[in-house]
Every structure is written in structure tokens, then in C-alpha cells.
Structure 1
Amino acid sequence: MKSVVKWQGKVHFVAETDSGHQINIDGAPSIGGENKGARPMELILAGLGGCSSIDVVTMLQKSRQDVTDCRVEIAAERADAVPAVFTKINMHFVVTGRGLKESHVKRAVSLSAEKYCSVSIMLSNGDVEITHSHEIIEA
């Protein structure tokens, strides 16, 4: 897997992924950013949410659960010192569907966190405390 990140001026960069997608990245205004893209640490949280959500939806579909929507609300805390790494992350999954079984949703969230989501496992191995919760909404 590869990525190329190219400077656009000030603290604005464009990343091109191996799959050919482009992502704008910009620093905060306090360091000269102009809000032309996401902050790097925001992208880490988005990657975590995407990785886990793919796992959860895929597992629920394989277990024949009628999922109609899935979102994960992520809240993170960072260290007060430099580097301002993540110290705690909470992921709250909101899964909507018809007749979803609690046990299936709980299992999918747990398996993603503990076994399948590369981003989650990488962050938790780096001493980030990651917690998970979920709720089910009937469609």
C-alpha cells in the first residue's frame, strides 16, 4: 500500500491514495491553516470509524441481519503534551434495521474491536484506551 502527500502551500497538502482517491489535509488556523481540508488526527478517527463500520456491517449482513443504516459516533481525548497523541477514544455504534438481534450487534462490534479492525488494534497497541458501545434502532 502506498500514498503520496503533496504540498499545496502554507500547511495545505493533498494526499493521493493507492486506490486513486484524493484527500485534502490542512493544519489548524493557529498554525497557518486555511480550513481547506481535514486535520491529520481527524483522518485517523475517520479511518478508525470506517474500518470498524465496514467490519460491523459486513458481519451483520453475513449473519442475515436486515441492516438499513449504521453510523459510529467517535469521541476522543488527546494528551496535553507534545506529541498530542490520542489517549482515549469512545466509539458508539448506532445500528438501524429490521428485527436486529442484540447479540449479533454486540458480537460484531466486539469482533471488530478485538480481532478485525486493523486501525483499532494498531491504536490500542499504542496505549490508546478504546471503548465501545452500541444501540439498535428499529427501522
Structure 2
Amino acid sequence: MEANIKWVEGDTFIGRSQSGHNVVFDTGADGAAPSPMEMVLMSTGCCSSVDVVSILKKAKQQVENVEVKLTAERAESAPRVFTKMNLHFVVTGKNVSEKHLARAVQLSAEKYCSVALMLDKTVEITHSHEVVESVAK
């Protein structure tokens, strides 16, 4: 895998992935885009969400929406690495099994999410979840 980062101006950079996608980063007060650490946090949530959605689909769960709410704590001094992270999954659907959701989150955490598994070596990562029954329309 390869990527390229190019400085634009001020605290703004553009990353280009090997697959040809551009991502804007901002490292300071400009606020033009997420910071690299925000990207790591969001990447962890996305990676795990991909797993959870896939596992729930294979279990024939009637999932309508999956959202992961991410919270993280960072070290007080440089390098300000993540020290704690929580991924809270909120899954909306019809008759979604809490047992299936718990298993999907566990499998992602322990086996499939490469981003979280890489970070887990130095970050205390926890997971939580809830099922929200969809409202009949």
C-alpha cells in the first residue's frame, strides 16, 4: 500500500491514496478539515462498522441503520497519543437480535478490524452497543 501527502498551505494537507482518492487534512487552527488524529479515530469506527454491517447482513438481520459514536482520550503531553477509545454502536432495524449485534461487535474487535487491532497494542479500546427498534411507517 502506498499514499502521498502534499502540503497545500497553512496547516492544510491533501492525502492521495493508492486507489486515487483525495482526503483533506488540517493540523491546526484553520479548521478546514479533520486532523490526522480525528482521521485515525474515524478510520477505527469505519473499519469496525464495515465488519459489523457485514456480519449482521450474513446473520440475516433486518438492519436499517448503523452508527458508531466514537469517543477518545489523549495523553496530556507530546506525543498526544490516544490512551482510551470507545466505539458505541447504535443499530436500528426490525427485530435486530442484541445477541447477534454483540457477537458482530466482538468479532470485529477481536478478529477483523485491522485498524482497531493495530491500535489495541497501545490504546485501551472498549466497545458498547444498543439496538433501536425501527418505527413502523
Selected match of 1:134 from 119, 129, 137: 129
Listed as ranges, the matches of 1:1-139 within 5 Å are 1-29=1-29, 34-125=30-121, 127-139=122-134
Structure 2 residue runs of 5 or longer lacking an equivalent are none
Cα deviation code 1:3-49 (max 9, x no counterpart): 111010122100011221111111121xxxx1221100000011001
- In the alignment, the residues of structure 2 paired with residue 69 and residue 18 of structure 1 have an alpha-carbon distance, to the nearest angstrom, of 30
How much is the aligned-residue C-alpha RMSD, in angstroms? 0.7
- In the alignment, the residues of structure 1 paired with residue 32 and residue 18 of structure 2 have an alpha-carbon distance, to the nearest angstrom, of 22
Structure 1 residue runs of 5 or longer lacking an equivalent are none
Is the deviation greater in 53-62 or in 17-26?
17-26
Name the TM-score, length of structure 1 as normaliser: 0.94
- In the alignment, the residues of structure 2 paired with residue 47 and residue 82 of structure 1 have an alpha-carbon distance, to the nearest angstrom, of 22
Counterpart of 1:85, as a letter, is V
Counterpart of 1:27, as a letter, is T
Name the TM-score, length of structure 2 as normaliser: 0.95
- In the alignment, the residues of structure 2 paired with residue 11 and residue 18 of structure 1 have an alpha-carbon distance, to the nearest angstrom, of 23
Please list every run of at least 4 consecutive aligned residues from structure 1 whose deviation after the TM superposition is greater than 4 angstroms: none
Shift of 1:110: 0.5
